[in-house]
A and B are shown apart, each in its own frame.
Chain A
């Protein structure tokens, strides 16, 4: 049974049902950012839960605490990446990629027996970094206000008789209803007390 049925939020029986899905408002860059956000969640959890295993795989023994901190960082950047403020999250991810690469660079020395693993991880992070940069740029481009596209709507008054002629026009035949008067507040009491 779907969770929504248990909570009582399920759609009512007679409501129209989706028969065929059509084009979405989500753009390609939005989907890429979302995928990267979920990647952050997965990697962040792995780094938090199994820092020792990751450290041993990469020859980074002794840096388990740092890896765990990076896991927390991944989760922190996933939150905005999965939100509507994707550029903030993606920028954080790009910064994080730099930290990851710097840390992996310390594992690429010839004495590290797991050097080949570290090289593979480095190549992967370089690829992810490129994806992050592409996602950042394309999301910004897809959702920006075009510079210089400000419109001038100063001819749209909506008041056919003109603004000045319209001022107070409704007061001729409309009274603020009693339940919307602010009478009885300090606003009305003050002049009364002053007189």
Chain B
């Protein structure tokens, strides 16, 4: 089959690889009808995530049709079922899964000892990501083996386009969780840093959850225009001082809720000098992430406010003002999205016409164009915000 394969820094190739096969009773094989490139794929593209191997298949936003089902998954899936595959693999039985904390499932990381060493305790297996999370082949391919398939799928109805359903795999529930874990209440001012795909979903989620003011922060005009389309007030950090503007919008008190939809790779620029130091440290492997957004959120957030982190961080960060955070009594919430916890509700909202996630797709191309689209997405060229790929 054909697949997008990681070969090293900035080197994604459209390779021919062997077909996946059922390996365990709970497995299923799906024929991929649509997949997408995620912002977190760019961390792999930039080789900032440890424990990738040349030959690893990329992709964790995938949907398709079931073509083969293992004996242990037959009660829940059958050939021909249309499914979206969450980026997290969950057993559905462990203590964390029973609590709804699916992204920290205790059983699905097949390289759990590595996870234990890297994270203290293992987290869930993830598709198309580092071997620290199992190194499972991803879904930017013609076919995908889904482990624990009886619990790792979202059945979706016919009659709704892939474009509206695909993002149940990641960015829609991820954006939703970013808003939920901020505990958004009516009357809140919610500031969202980063208007990439997850930021866009977070903005819509904050509106649906009743935030009075949603403020979107970025510097790319096309992304800000998309944020404004959902009713967000926008701040272009190339043109305005973020802290001053947020204080102005909140009577000097700061936002109630601050959401980081940027994570490890804050934009590097002279307007944000800390990012230049962070980038230099990253190059010398003295720091994993550029946590400019985190620093700014802690500074500007209203005392006793909530910081919600959904942008992916990779490892060690420097110069985080913990004293400021502690003295202001901030609450921190963060996690990889517990996808299946939210997808039933979100599918209903799509069917009900409350949200149409297809708005975020700016490029829809064949899988074979994947390698060049990685560069286009990374370079933010051609107005690119979200790339949908079709095998």
Complex Cα–Cα for A171 and B180 (A) = 11
Complex Cα–Cα for A195 and B162 (A) = 52
Q: Which of A23-31, A44-52, A57-65 contacts B (4 or more CB under 8 A)?
A: A23-31
Given A9-B114, A158-B204, A169-B208, does the pair A24, B349 have CB atoms closer than 8 Å? no
A174 touches B345 (CB 8 A): yes
Contacts of A151 in B (CB 8 A): 222, 225, 362, 383
Residues 150-162 of A, flagged 1 when their CB comes within 8 A of B and 0 if not, give: 1111111111110
Complex Cα–Cα for A158 and B371 (A) = 28
Q: Among A144, A150, A166, which residue has its beta carbon within 8 angstroms of that of B383?
A: A150
A26 touches B381 (CB 8 A): no
Given A145-B381, A158-B200, does the pair A14, B23 have CB atoms closer than 8 Å? yes
* A190: interface (CB < 8 Å): yes
Contacts of B89 in A (CB 8 A): none
Q: Among B53, B200, B256, B360, which residue has its beta carbon within 8 angstroms of that of A11?
A: B53
* B113: interface (CB < 8 Å): yes
A157 touches B359 (CB 8 A): yes
Q: How many A-B residue pairs have CB under 8 A?
A: 224
Complex Cα–Cα for A152 and B226 (A) = 8
Interface size for chain A: under 10, 10 to 19, 20 to 34, or 35 or more residues?
35 or more
A159 touches B372 (CB 8 A): no
* B160: interface (CB < 8 Å): no
Minimum CB–CB distance from B77 to chain A (whole Å) comes to 19
B354 touches A160 (CB 8 A): yes
Complex Cα–Cα for A14 and B110 (A) = 13
Q: Among A80, A144, A166, which residue has its beta carbon within 8 angstroms of that of B208?
A: A166
- Determine chain A's interface SS by DSSP, over half rule: loop
A26 touches B18 (CB 8 A): no
B383 touches A186 (CB 8 A): no
Q: Which of A105-113, A115-123, A125-133, A176-184 contacts B (4 or more CB under 8 A)?
A: A176-184
A167 touches B210 (CB 8 A): yes
Q: Among A16, A177, A181, which residue has its beta carbon within 8 angstroms of that of B137?
A: A16
A186 touches B371 (CB 8 A): no
Most chain B C-beta atoms within 10 Å of own C-beta, residue among A164, A174, A180, A186 = A180
Closest-by-CB residue of B relative to A15 is: B137
A171 touches B209 (CB 8 A): yes
Given A23-B371, A152-B225, does the pair A158, B356 have CB atoms closer than 8 Å? yes
Contacts of A26 in B (CB 8 A): 10-11
Contacts of A20 in B (CB 8 A): 15-16
* B240: interface (CB < 8 Å): no
Q: Among B184, B305, B374, B375, which residue has its beta carbon within 8 angstroms of that of A187?
A: B305
Contacts of A23 in B (CB 8 A): 13-14, 371
* B231: interface (CB < 8 Å): yes
A25 touches B210 (CB 8 A): no
A158 touches B306 (CB 8 A): no
Given A154-B228, A167-B210, A168-B209, does the pair A159, B18 have CB atoms closer than 8 Å? no
**Chain B positions near chain A (C-beta within 8 angstroms):** 1-3, 5, 7, 9-21, 23, 45-46, 51, 53, 55-57, 99-100, 110-111, 113-114, 131, 135, 137, 141, 145, 180-181, 183-184, 186, 200, 204-205, 207-211, 220-223, 225-226, 228-231, 256, 268, 279, 283-284, 303-306, 329, 331, 333, 345, 349, 353-360, 362, 371-372, 374-375, 378-383, 385
**Chain A positions near chain B (C-beta within 8 angstroms):** 4, 8-12, 14-27, 30, 79-80, 83-85, 142-146, 149-161, 163-164, 166-171, 174, 176-177, 179-182, 185-187, 190
| CB<8 Å pairs between A and B, sample of 15 | A16-B18, A20-B15, A22-B13, A26-B10, A84-B10, A153-B229, A158-B230, A158-B356, A163-B207, A171-B209, A174-B345, A176-B183, A177-B100, A187-B305, A187-B306
